[in-house]
Amino acid sequence: MQGEMLGLLGLAALLALLLLRVPIGISLISVSFAGMWMLIGPRAAWGLISAVPYEFSAKWTLSSVPMFLLMGYVCYYAGLTKGLFEACRSWLARLPGGLAIASVFGGAGFAAVTGSSIACAAAMGRIAIPEMLARKYDPALATGTLAAAGTLGALIPPSILLILFGVFAEVSISKLFMGGLGMGLLTTALYVATIWVKATLNPGLAPRMAEAPVLAERLEHLRETWPILLLLVVVIGGMFAGLFTATEAGAVGALAAIIIAYVRRALSPRTMWSSLVETLTTTGALFLIAVGANMLSRFLAISGAADLIAGTVVGLQADPLALLVGIAALYLLLGMFLDPLGAMLLTLPILLPVLRESHIDLVWFGVFLAKLLEVGMITPPVGMNVFVIKSVVGQTISLGTIYRGIVAFLIADAVALALVIALPSLVTFLPGLIE
């Protein structure tokens, strides 16, 4: 029992460090190192800290993380995504809440070239919010739409969250991507329905355009979306067709983005340098947390704390629904204070044994988890996407107004979570096609 108690004390120490605002990666590594020192001795502790960073980072699957990030940053800095919103606006503006609906579809398109919800919210927010405000849209609806649409960035593949979950849970990343696509499309449909209902019931929230763009203008805007459509065909189509794996898709996508940017004469040395710097710094931050989580997994396994927690939960004989509701509550709570990656990697070492003991499909759960984490991106008091949108609009719109705008989208998210629990095939259907 001594080792198990030491593992539980390590978790308590980890929580204390986080409350003291010590960075998550440093907290995870420190607790794991100290715990192994006390559990086995200094030699084992130094062995852990010297071996795990290389063993984890050298995994071939993780090479897709910097590659997908590079693809997204090249698209962003080269301006390959600029035509997305304009195309959606020209075709959808006459609908109730048309510009807001266009923003959601634009966000979904941008999500297909970046694994980050923050990048998605920031990029689309700078384009769409000024347009909506100029058209007299309700500020809460305009900002709330973009904060929510940004969450699609971690659902629609490529998704960094799903890649890291796949590595930790040892499940197929291709299947996770297909499941994430299903969840992303469901979320997009619910967000669009939310906007349509709000704008229909209260037209003053989203005044319609007096005149629709002519067909020639629509077709011209549609033509400008070819870089993203081509990337979608290459990356998602190639994976679905079995031409390459999800890991290889990252490199293919990054190369395709660079070639497209070069063909469009948008690949300047400054663009490439900015893309590389952003890729390296983001990858370094992600891997620091991931290495710490891997070390914590080993410490908890050796101490016996992981088995103790899993056995205790399973011993309660809670049905899967009750377990999922409890897990959802945990992540929604963590999402109020931690970033999604930190919340996921902090808890996976504890939850994975429980999930395996309960025979829960890990592909389905990975997608369900990604959705839960993204809900945390728009919940108070620390909804990161809300703060990103606040930085876009400056002092013209208050933080309270943005939070007021996301309430309807949080309801839509609750419906999405309930649907995938009641109908798991909404997530598992597409992964089942690549057995």
Q: What is the pLDDT of residues 340-399, one digit of tens each?
A: 777 787 788 878 888 888 788 999 999 999 999 888 888 876 677 888 888 888 888 888
**Model confidence band, residue 1 (pLDDT cutoffs 50, 70, 90):** very low
The yes-or-no verdict on residue 317 having pLDDT over 60 is no
Q: How would you write the chain as a 3-class SS string? A: CHHHHHHHHHHHHHHHHHHCCCCHHHHHHHHHHHHHHHHCCHHHHHHHHHHHHHHHHCCHHHHHHHHHHHHHHHHHHCCCCHHHHHHHHHHHCCCCCHHHHHHHHHHHHHHCCCCCHHHHHHHHHHHHHHHHHHCCCCHHHHHHHHHHHHHHHHCCCCCHHHHHHHHHHCCCHHHHHHHHHHHHHHHHHHHHHHHHHHHHHCHHHCCCCCCCCCHHHHHHHHHCCHHHHHHHHHHHHHHHCCCCCHHHHHHHHHHHHHHHHHHCCCCCHHHHHHHHHHHHHHHHHHHHHHHHHHHHHHHHHHHCHHHHHHHHHHHCCCCHHHHHHHHHHHHHHHHCCCCHHHHHHHHHHHHHHHHHHCCCCHHHHHHHHHHHHHHHHHCCCCCHHHHHHHHHHHHHCCHHHHHHHHHHHHHHHHHHHHHHHHCCHHHHHHHHCCC
Q: What is the pLDDT of residues 16-32, one digit of tens each?
A: 887 787 877 888 888 88
pTM: 0.82
The yes-or-no verdict on residue 323 having pLDDT over 90 is no
pLDDT computed for residue 315 by the predictor: 59
